[in-house]
Structure 1
Amino acid sequence: MAETAAPRRRRQGSRRDPSIDADVLAAARRLLIERGYANTTIDLIAATANVSRPAVYRRWRSKAHLVHEALFPDLGQDPPEDDFVAEITRLCRGALAMYADPAVAESIPGLLNDLRADRGMRRMLSDRLEATARSQLGDRLTAAVDAGVARPDISADTVMDVIAGGAWYAVCVRRVKDVDAAAAELCALVLNGVLISSSA
């Protein structure tokens, strides 16, 4: 009688090891600062983090995806403010600080180029981070409009575009060093354009 084969154990699925994620993201940030976006490859990131190339691709489908998470892990440590003016202030300071990060400054041109070539990836990464921030700002702006404080003809998307664009240009093009002063000026500009009164 043939020997019955022992039942094979069902794999529970590959569980992501948080330490591998952290090591890979840290290696990516370090290499982006040291070598720039173009010279930071998946192979180099994997070797620096002491993990296999497949282990990286099981977690991130492309270099752009990995770099995006390494540079923008979340919306920041500071939670959204309930008050509209306080939220605009937080966003302006956060945007300037984000673009002043050396890894971000080295990566933005190459990352944007890669994302432009992949519409699906661009949408996915935008939804992962930016869509939430815009939605939160939209809620604050709607409340400010309802309270008669903010103009109803200015959208949250336009406000966010002004903040992100102004912060990027100030840091990456003009190379401003005084981030606090630049954030204060940007905040004043945005609030004076959105608020009905001069209470900003």
Structure 2
Amino acid sequence: MAETAVPRRTRHGSRRDPSIDADVLAATRRLLTEHGYAKTTIDLIATTANVSRPAVYRRWRSKAHLVHEALFPDLGREPPADDFVDEITRLCHGALAMYSDPAVREAIPGLLADLRTDRGMRRVLSDRLEATARSQLGERVAAAVTSGVARAGVSADTIMDVIAGGAWYAVCVRRIKDIDVAADELAALVLGGVLANSSA
């Protein structure tokens, strides 16, 4: 008697099944690297992860939301450095490393374009990406100013903007190869404008 082929089951699952989340996020990262942002559709992600399209949308409200979580899963995992100079240096190295990730490099232009049309989502994702880091840096800057390490009038927001913008341009536009050297140079530049008694 001929064997009956068993069709592959598409998992629908609920938010309580972490394996579905992991499969979808992994598929998203791989597809971004292989095909770029525009061609990485929800349908393709669902097919690649072997889940249904509704299962994806139950977890992420949009492609931008899904891509954001796939690229930036937990930016607060590494603890801040104790020393203010070391912390600025750590942030510079972290930003360069983040933008040098192939999936991030491929996705950023398309992701930014999508977020321009959805102000609410842009705010949600911005808060998820940076709120904690900016708040922590604000406290560190205030303490550094009080102790005389940093000059008065320094804004944590501006420091973060300079680090993020400089890192993005270096990696995504200039396509620098030596991430560590670029990070050290960026840190030196930022600290030259922040420290109260800088010789930079």
Displacement after TM superposition at 1:33 (Å): 0.3
Q: Which residue of 1 aligns with 2:129?
A: 129
Q: Say which SS state the counterpart of residue 189 (structure 1) adopts.
A: helix
TM-score by length of 2: 0.91
Residue type of the alignment partner of 1:134: R
Aligned residues of 2:76 and 2:133 also touching (Cα < 8 A):
no
Unaligned runs of 5+ in 2: 1-13
Q: Say which SS state the counterpart of residue 38 (structure 2) adopts.
A: coil
Q: Which residue of 2 aligns with 1:83?
A: 83
Give me the identity figure in percent.
Answer: 82
Displacement after TM superposition at 1:84 (Å): 1.3
Unaligned runs of 5+ in 1: 1-13
Q: Which residue of 2 aligns with 1:188?
A: 188
Output the CA distance in 2 between the equivalents of 1:99 and 1:129. 13
Output the CA distance in 1 between the equivalents of 2:187 and 2:32. 30
Aligned residues of 1:82 and 1:140 also touching (Cα < 8 A):
no
Q: How many residues were matched structurally? A: 187
TM-score by length of 1: 0.91
Output the CA distance in 2 between the equivalents of 1:152 and 1:40. 46
Q: Which residue of 2 aligns with 1:108?
A: 108
Which structure has the bigger radius of gyration? 1
Output the CA distance in 1 between the equivalents of 2:100 and 2:77. 16
Q: Which residue of 1 aligns with 2:166?
A: 166
Alignment deviations for residues 32-89 of structure 1 (CA, whole Å, 9 cap, x no partner): 0000000000010000000010110000000000000000011154211232111101
Displacement after TM superposition at 1:128 (Å): 1.1
Output the CA distance in 2 between the equivalents of 1:115 and 1:15. 25
Residue type of the alignment partner of 2:95: A
Displacement after TM superposition at 1:15 (Å): 4.2
Q: Which residue of 2 aligns with 1:153?
A: 153
